[in-house]
Amino acid sequence: MKTNQIGLEKSETAPINEKLNALLSSYHVFYQNVRGYHWNVKGEHFFSLHTKFEELYTELQLQIDEIAERILTLAGTPLHAYSDFTKYSSIKEDKNVFDGRECVEGLVSGLQELIEEQRSVIEAAGEAGDEGTVDLITGYVQAQEKLIWMYNAFLGVKK
């Protein structure tokens, strides 16, 4: 059988699954970074940031599951070992960050990295006629672009 369960050519979805697994890895590392920010943030904005970080990592947890399920839908196998996540992630671990401003800067940097990686997934999926993946990932990009704007407003960034 040359097509997967949803009628897409396996030869065309294999590279998409590879990109989705790399994205899944980046999401996992970013998720852990955000959990660390949530647990460790200190300073005058503790209460507002602690809550916002929890909202974000809760959303990331749902997105991780959706990405893994999309890989399965495309007849792939989602990565599930932390050694793979650190190997394939475009995002690096951000350890022992306590200052609220530094936490938010880490968030913005991570979101920017995710968006860049997701645009590559969208391009590959579009070329393969994989509208489901395009739609899923485009929604993430749109929401994350808004988060970048909001967190940059908190930081006072004027771009």
Cβ of 116: how many Cβ atoms within 10 Å? Answer: 12
pLDDT at 104 over 90: yes
Give SS3 for 159: coil
pLDDT at position 1 is: 74
The CA-based dihedral angle spanning residues 21, 57, 135, 74, taken in that order and rounded to the nearest 10 degrees: 30
User: Cβ contacts of residue 134 below 8 Å, gap of 6+?
Assistant: 122, 125, 126
Q: Where are the domains of the chain?
A: 10-155
Residue 159 clears pLDDT 80, i.e. is over it = no
CATH 1.20.1260.10 matches 10-155: yes
Does 158 score more than 90 pLDDT? no
pTM of the shown model: 0.96
Q: What is the pLDDT of residues 116-154, one digit of tens each?
A: 999 999 999 999 999 999 999 999 999 999 999 999 999
Q: Which run of H or E residues covers position 150?
A: helix 131-155
